A and B are shown apart, each in its own frame.
Chain A
Amino acid sequence: MVPLSYYLVLSGILFACGVAGFLIKRNIITIFMSIELMLNGVNLSFVAFAAHWHALAGQVFVFFVMVVAAAEAAVGLAIIIAVYRTRETLNVDQVNLLKL
C-alpha cells in the first residue's frame, strides 16, 4: 500500500505548481488553469486523508469542491470572455483597472 506521505507530497507539489503558475503566467486562461491545479492538489490531500483515516467526510468535501470549482469555471470563463471583448487582451498586466 502506498503510504500517506506520498500522496501528500504529490498534493503539495501540485499546489506549489498552481501557485507558481498563478504568479508567473500573464495569460488569464493559464492563471485560471493554475487555480484549478491548486484546487485539485487540495482535493488529492482530502481523499488521501479520507482513505487513511477511513473517514467519509473527506470524500464528501471533494465533491463539494468539484461542484464549486465547476460553478467558478463557468462564471470565470464568462468573465474572461467579457474582458477579452472589451479590452482585446488576456494579459493580466494590462487589465489593471484596480490601480489607484
Chain B
Amino acid sequence: MTSSLNLWLIPVLPLAGAAINGFLGKKSSRTAVSTIGLVFSGAAFAWALLVAWRFSSVALPYQEYVAHWIRSGNFSADFALYLDQLSLVMLLVVTGVGFLIHIYSIGYMWDDPSYYRFFSYLNLFMFFMLTLVLANNYLLMFIGWEGVGLASYLLIGFWFSKDSAASAGKKAFIVNRIGDFGFLIGLFLLIQHFHSLNFTQVFNQVQPLAPETSGAGLLTTIGILLMVGACGKSAQIPLYVWLPDAMEGPTPVSALIHAATMVTAGVYMVARSHVIFERAPGALMVVAIIGTLTALFAATIGITQTDIKKVLAYSTVSQLGYMFMACGVGAFSAGIFHLMTHAFFKGLLFLAAGSVIHAVGGEQDMRKMGGLRSYIPWTFLTMGIATLAISGIPPFAGFWSKDEILWKAYSSEHGGLVFWLIGVITAFITSFYMFRLLFMTFFGDYHGAKVDEHGHGRHSHDAHGHGEPHESPMVMLVPLMILALLSVIGGLVGIGDRFDHFLAPVFGSGAAEAAGEAASSTTEYLLMAVSVTVAGLGFILAYILYVSKPYLPQKIADSLGGFYDTVLNKYYVDELYARLFVKPLIDASTRILWQGIDRKVIDDSVNDAADGARHVSDEVRHMQSGNLRSYAGWIAAGSAVMIAYMIWLGVGR
C-alpha cells in the first residue's frame, strides 16, 4: 500500500456530524445545526471527490484495514474498507446526492421544531450507507445494511406523533426484517462453506466453481437468499409494500433514502455478489423475474395514484425493478448505471415534489393542484427535466441507462424477448404516469383552496402564508438545478459503453457484454427507436387524457369498473398481507402467546407459587403463639422424641 487514501474518514465524518447534532443540537441555533450538518456531509463528499481524483494512482481493488473486529478460529471479519470502481460510483452517488439533499433540507425543514434531530438522523444515515458501500466483508456490509434500516425507520417515523407515520416506520422495519432473515441465512451458508465473509476470499473460492446449470445447488441457494435480502431493502415483490408507506417521512428523506440511495443497496449487494450470481443461473433467473414483474406491477399502480409522493414511490419500486432486471440478465453494469441516473432524476423528482408540496401548503393530492406552472416556474422546469429523464426521452440521463437495460434484456444470454417486451411496456406506462403527474400538477387550472388555514398541519413549516402558491427559497432551488443538470448530462457517461468499460474490472467482460457486442447494431438502434417511441406515446396519451380532454380519465375509469378499483387499491396487496400474515400473527400471538402462554402458563405459575407459599405460611405462623409455655411444651416433646429415638437405636449399648 503505497499511499493511504484514508477512506475511513468518509463514513466517520457524517457520524461525527450526527453525534454533534444529536447531543448538542437541541441547545444550538438552527444556523449552527445546519452548518454542522452541511460541513460534515460536505466534507465526506469532498473526500470522496479526492478519492476519485487519486483513483487512478492506487492499485485496485484498494483495501484499507481500520480496526480489528472479530477473530474466531479461522474466521475473521474486520473493520476494513474496500474500494473498486463499483464502490467508487456508489460513494460518489451517496455523498453527492446526499450532500445536495442536506442543502435542500435546510430550506424544507427550517420551521420544524425537531430541526436538529432531522439533521442528526440524516448524517447518521450517511454514515451507515457509506459503511455499507465501503465494507470489505459481508458482515460489515450487514452492519451498514441494518444501520440504514434504522435510519430509515427513524426518518419515516420522524413525525412520530402522527399515528400513520409511526406505523409506517414500523412497517418498513418489520418488512425489512423478513428480507434480512434471508440475507443472514445466506451469510451463514457462506460461512459454512467458504469459512469467510470477506469479499475477496469468498469470490476467490467461488471463482473456480462451475456454473450450476443443472439444477439448484449451493450457489443458487445463497444467491436466492441474498436476493430475499435485496427484495426487502430494495422494495421488490413480495416485500415492496413498505416503500409506498414510507412516504410518511419528510420529503427530503423520501428523496435521499427511499429513492436515491438506501433502496438501491439491494442492487449494489447483488452487483457486488455478481461472482456468485454468475455461477447460479437459477438465482439470476429469479432476480430477473422478480425485477421484471415488480417493474410492471408497480408501474400499473402508479397510474392510478393521486398522491404525488405515492406516484413517485411506486415509480421508484418500478425503476428498482428495472435495475434488478438488468442484474438478472447479467448486465450488472447496466443496473449500476441505471442506479446512478435514477439517483439523479428520482432524487430530483422527489425534491421537486417537495417543492410543490411546500408551495401549495402541505397538500399532496394532485387533484387539488394544477396550473402551478406559472406560480413555481423553477420547480416546473426542473421537474419537467426529471420527467423527461425518467421517461427515457433522449438525450436525458434516463434514456441512456434504460435503453442499456432494455438492450441487455433483449440481447443477453440470460435475457429474452419477454423481458424486453415487459420492459418496454413498463417504459410506456412510466412515461404515461410521469407525464400524468406533470400535467395534473402544473397544467390546467389551480384547484387548491387559495386561502385555507385548515388541514395543513402536515408540515409544521407550512404554518406560514398559504394564499398563492409560492416558489421555494434559493436553498431548495439550487440542489434542484444541480440535480436537473445531472439528469440532463448524467447519462452521457454511458455513451459508447464507457460506463461499462469503467466497471469492467469489477464485473469482468461477462458473457452479457460479449453477446451485446456481437449482436448487430442495427437491432440495437431499432430497439432504441421502439423504446423512444413508446415513451413518446406515453407522453401523447397523458397529454390527451390530462390536458386536452381532462374529462376522459374519469370515463375510462368508470368503464373499467372493478379492474380500475383493484389497481386504485394497489391490487389489495396490503389487505391480502393483512389477511394472510398480519391478522393470523396477531390472533395467534393474542390467543396462544399472550392469553395462553403468558397469562396461563407464566403468570399463573408464578401466582400459584406465591399463593401456595402464603397459604402454607398462614398455617405455620400460628405455631408462633407468643405463649412461653407452649414453646416449652414443644421443647419437652421434642426432647422426649429424641430420647425415645436414641433408646430405640440403643445408644450406649
A residues near B (Cβ < 8 Å) are 19, 22-24, 26, 31, 92-93, 95-100
Contact = CB atoms under 8 A, between A and B. Distances in A.
B636 A98 contact: no
A97 B627 CA distance: 9
B626 A23 contact: no
B627 A96 contact: yes
Nearest to A28: B628
Contacts of A100: 621, 624, 626
Contacts of B451: none
Contacts of B636: 19, 22-23
A98 B625 CA distance: 7
B643 to A, nearest CB: 12
A31 B633 CA distance: 13
A93 B633 CA distance: 14
A92 B628 CA distance: 7
B632 interface: yes
Interface in B137-185: none
A96 B632 contact: no
B627 to A, nearest CB: 6
Interface in B590-643: 621, 624-629, 632-633, 636
B624 A99 contact: yes
A86 to B, nearest CB: 16
A19 B632 CA distance: 9
B622 to A, nearest CB: 8
B629 A99 contact: no
A22 B626 contact: no
Nearest to B628: A92
B599 to A, nearest CB: 34
Contacts of B626: 96-100
A92 to B, nearest CB: 5
A53 to B, nearest CB: 15
B635 to A, nearest CB: 9
B624 A22 contact: no
User: Do most interface residues of chain B lie in helix, strand or loop, or is the interface mixed?
Assistant: helix
Interface of B: 621, 624-629, 632-633, 636
Nearest to B626: A99
Contacts of B629: 22-24, 26, 92-93
Contacts of A96: 625-628
A93 B628 CA distance: 7
B105 to A, nearest CB: 70
Contacts of B624: 98-100
B625 A22 contact: no
Nearest to B631: A98
Closest 10 CB pairs of A and B: A99-B626, A96-B626, A98-B626, A92-B628, A100-B624, A100-B621, A22-B632, A96-B627, A19-B636, A23-B633
A23 B632 contact: yes
11 contacts: A22-B632, A23-B633, A92-B627, A95-B628, A96-B626, A97-B626, A98-B624, A99-B624, A99-B626, A100-B621, A100-B626
A96 B624 CA distance: 10
A100 B625 CA distance: 7
A16 to B, nearest CB: 10
Nearest to A34: B632
Nearest to A20: B636
Contacts of A23: 629, 632-633, 636
A97 B631 CA distance: 13
Contacts of A99: 624-627
B550 to A, nearest CB: 89
Nearest to A19: B636
Nearest to B623: A100
A96 B628 CA distance: 7
A91 to B, nearest CB: 10
A26 B630 CA distance: 11
Contacts of A22: 629, 632, 636
A50 to B, nearest CB: 18
Contacts of A31: 628
A79 to B, nearest CB: 12
Nearest to B621: A100
A93 B621 contact: no
A16 B470 CA distance: 111
Query: Interface centre among A31, A97, A99, by most B CB within 10 Å?
Result: A99
Given A93-B627, A96-B627, A98-B624, 15 more contacts: A19-B636, A22-B629, A22-B632, A22-B636, A23-B633, A31-B628, A92-B629, A95-B628, A96-B626, A96-B628, A98-B626, A99-B624, A99-B625, A100-B621, A100-B626
Contacts of A97: 626
A13 B627 CA distance: 26
A18 to B, nearest CB: 10
A70 to B, nearest CB: 22
B618 to A, nearest CB: 11
A84 B230 CA distance: 89
Nearest to A22: B632
B641 to A, nearest CB: 14
Contacts of A24: 629
A55 to B, nearest CB: 17
Nearest to B633: A23
Contacts of A26: 629
Contacts of B628: 31, 92, 95-96, 98
A22 B628 CA distance: 10
Contacts of A92: 627-629
Contacts of B633: 23
B625 to A, nearest CB: 6
